């Protein structure tokens, strides 16, 4: 996390200027201190129940980050067989990995079964084929769509009626038929209603719907409430109060367990909550371009490295870390991609000069993992700060990386 100390911006105790000198820009920097703080906050908020936290791999999949969370006691939430393999490589016990794919083939699910991870299925067609093949020999979790509208943006909302995710709560009869005929053993119920939940009560309402659905499943071992915790992006921004959610959900969960007749595990799969604030993205100012309408700050990066502003209209707070004392002025920060790639309009920052470094906050989640080589640009390096020391955890790409897998042929 970026902090101003004695007039110098630092991350986890290391000066930003030192990081830029050593590793160059653009650069992703992660702070393990912040990751641990968030993990512990979530853990203590839900310590009234038997809670398991599965880090959502797709938010930030560097193997060192995965290992860090594993050592804190986290499991892993995966959405592809490749993430399953990555998790196993990172040392996770397959039993602590949940695999929640969407619209994948039965063949891919079979590969996950082979690895021994918890399977989570979200459509009746594949569930039927799964049951036909495995019967009760492989337990399965069912992803339910409770149809509760949550999420800050339509593209990150997954619980609404038009969403492709989950098995509708209204398809319960059909679901039961399939489970019964194929003798499927359902050991968990799951929901994930989307990112950026703005209201604790929305979460609780969805939870109640899941509790009601459990009457159809007698062999449950856990309920997985997915994720969607909103993190603050702007100074004074709204965020999910996990303490309040923890208190309320733990209470209703315990009551539910009494009714159900067994103590179940309570699972979560946060990505953004655990890593968003731990990450800072650093880019250097190439050019300051005054047009008739605005002052553009053009940096040595673009939507190829941080697509969230253009993809989700997300807000990343930006600071000119090279000029902490400078006069506050208004800039529009853009990238170097031949495509409109605006990081932020009309941002107040201390006076920007060419060569200054701009820090983008909340860049830990869905930053590097959504980066690409568009415009034949190299993807950035990644650095992790742990206990005041910096470690390179991913090298900056080179031309060889762009050429790898390309096959040169002679077209006669």
Ligand X SMILES: *Cc1c(COP(=O)(O)O)cnc(C)c1O
Q: With CB under 6 A as the contact rule, which of the stretches 28-36, 88-96, 174-182, 223-231 interacts with ligand X?
A: 223-231
Instruction: Restricting to residues 56-115, name those near ligand X by CB under 6 A.
Output: 56, 58-59, 77, 79, 100
- Please work out, in degrees rounded to the nearest 5, the angle formed at the alpha carbon of residue 70 by the alpha carbons of 66 and 72: 120
Least distance in angstroms from the C-beta of 76 to ligand X: 11
Q: Which residue of 87, 146, 226, 246 would you call a contact of ligand X, by CB under 6 A? A: 226
Return the range that interacts with ligand X (CB under 6 A); candidates 199-207, 271-279, 282-290, 367-375. Answer: 271-279
Give yes or no: 338 in active site: yes
CA dihedral 373, 375, 378, 383 (to 10 degrees): -70
In the bound complex, what is the minimum distance in angstroms from residue 297's beta carbon to ligand X? Answer: 29
Please give the full DSSP string across 328-358, using - where no structure is assigned: EEEEEEE-SSSS--EEEEEEEEE---TT-EE
Closest CB 177 distance from ligand X, rounded Å: 25
48, 211, 34, 233: which is closest to 152 by C-alpha?
233
By the 8 A CB rule, do 142 and 188 touch?
A: yes
The residue range among 85-93, 111-119, 226-234, 277-285 that interacts with ligand X, by the rule CB under 6 A, is 226-234
Count of CB atoms within 10 A of residue 297's CB?
A: 26
Binding to ligand X, residues 228-247 (CB under 6 A): 228-229
Tell me which of 157, 195, 301, 304 binds ligand X, using CB under 6 A. Answer: 195
Select 54 or 317, whichever has its Cβ closest to ligand X.
54
Contact between 269 and ligand X per CB under 6 A:
yes
Among 352, 365, 383, 384, binds ligand X (CB under 6 A): 365
Q: Which helix (H) or strand (E) holds 390?
A: strand 389-394
Count of residues that interact with ligand X, criterion CB under 6 A: 18
Please identify, among the stretches 125-133, 238-246, 264-272, 340-348, the one whose residues bind ligand X according to the rule CB under 6 A.
264-272
Single out the segment in contact with ligand X by CB under 6 A; choices: 125-133, 221-229, 291-299, 367-375: 221-229
Separation of alpha carbons 385 and 12, rounded Å: 6
Whole-number minimum distance, CB 364 to ligand X, in Å?
Answer: 10
Which pair of tokens denotes residue 343? 């990081």
Tokens 């310590």 belong to which residue?
47
Q: Considering beta carbons, is residue 58 or 67 the nearer one to ligand X? A: 58
Question: Which member of 25, 227, 304, 371 binds ligand X (CB under 6 A)?
Answer: 227
Smallest gap from Cβ 270 to ligand X, in A, equals: 4
Distance, CA of 339 to CA of 302 (rounded, Å): 9
Query: Which one of the spans 209-217, 254-262, 268-276, 299-307 is the region binding ligand X (CB under 6 A)?
Result: 268-276
User: What is the number of the residue whose Cβ is closest to ligand X?
Assistant: 271
Q: In whole angstroms, how close is the CB of 71 to ligand X at the nearest point?
A: 20
Taking the C-alpha atoms of residue 360 and residue 318, their distance in angstroms, rounded to an integer, is 5
CA distance 268 to 83: 17
User: Residues 272, 284, 308, 377: which binds ligand X (CB under 6 A)?
Assistant: 272
Dihedral of alpha carbons 184, 55, 254, 211, sign: negative
Residue closer to ligand X, measured from CB, 146 or 270: 270
User: 182 or 224: whose CB is closer to ligand X?
Assistant: 224
Burial class (CB in 10 A: 0-12, 13-18, 19+), 161: exposed
Nearest in space to 249 (alpha carbons), one of 271, 229, 219:
229
CA distance 81 to 115: 9
Kindly tell me which of 303 and 365 has the beta carbon lying closer to ligand X: 365
**Choice from 30, 273, 331, 368 touching ligand X (CB under 6 A):** 273
From the CB of 322, what's the least distance to ligand X, in Å? 31
Q: How far is the CB of 149 from ligand X (least distance, A)?
A: 16
Complex with ligand X: residue 25 or 361, whichever CB lies closer? 361
CA dihedral 165, 167, 169, 175 (to 10 degrees): 180
Helix (H) or strand (E) holding 289: strand 279-290
CA atoms within 13 A on the CB side of 402: 12
**How many CB atoms neighbour CB 24 within 10 A?**
14
DSSP class of 186: E
Give the residues lining the site for ligand X (CB under 6 A).
56, 58-59, 77, 79, 100, 192, 195, 226-229, 269-273, 365
Known catalytic residues are 338
């Amino acid at each position: 996390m970026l902090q101003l100390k004695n007039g110098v911006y630092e991350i986890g105790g290391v000066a930003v200027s030192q990081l830029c000198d050593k590793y160059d820009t653009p650069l992703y920097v992660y702070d393990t201190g912040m990751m641990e703080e968030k993990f512990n906050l979530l853990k203590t908020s839900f310590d009234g129940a038997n809670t398991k936290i599965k880090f959502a791999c797709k938010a930030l999949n560097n193997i060192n980050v995965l290992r860090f969370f594993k050592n804190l006691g986290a499991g892993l939430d995966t959405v592809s067989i490749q993430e399953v393999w990555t998790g196993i490589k990172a040392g996770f016990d397959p039993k602590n990995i949940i695999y929640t794919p969407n619209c994948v083939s039965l063949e891919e699910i079979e590969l996950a079964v082979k690895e021994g991870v918890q399977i989570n299925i979200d459509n009746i067609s594949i569930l039927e084929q799964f049951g036909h093949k495995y019967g009760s020999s492989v337990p399965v979790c069912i992803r339910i769509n409770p149809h509760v509208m949550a999420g800050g943006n339509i593209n990150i909302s997954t619980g609404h009626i038009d969403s492709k995710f989950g098995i509708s709560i209204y398809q319960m009869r059909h679901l039961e038929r399939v489970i019964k005929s194929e003798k499927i053993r359902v050991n968990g119920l799951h929901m994930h209603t989307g990112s950026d939940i703005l209201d604790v009560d929305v979460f609780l309402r969805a939870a109640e719907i899941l509790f009601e659905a459990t009457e159809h499943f007698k062999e449950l071992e856990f309920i997985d409430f997915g994720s969607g915790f909103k993190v603050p992006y702007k100074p004074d921004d709204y965020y999910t109060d996990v303490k309040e959610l923890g208190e309320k959900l733990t209470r209703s969960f315990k009551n539910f367990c009494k009714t159900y007749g067994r103590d179940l595990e309570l699972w979560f799969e946060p990505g953004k909550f655990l890593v968003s604030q731990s990450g800072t993205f650093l880019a250097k100012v190439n050019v300051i371009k005054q047009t008739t309408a605005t002052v553009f700050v053009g940096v040595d990066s673009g939507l190829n490295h941080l697509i969230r502003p253009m993809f989700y209209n997300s807000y990343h707070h930006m600071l000119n870390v090279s000029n902490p004392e400078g006069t506050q002025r208004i800039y529009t920060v853009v990238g170097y991609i031949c495509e409109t790639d605006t990081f932020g309009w009309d941002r107040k920052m201390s006076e920007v000069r060419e060569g200054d470094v701009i820090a983008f906050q909340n860049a830990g989640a869905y930053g590097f993992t959504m980066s690409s080589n568009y415009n034949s640009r190299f993807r950035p390096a990644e650095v992790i700060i742990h206990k005041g020391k910096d470690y390179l955890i991913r090298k900056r790409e080179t031309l060889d990386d762009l050429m790898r897998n390309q096959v040169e042929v002679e077209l006669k």
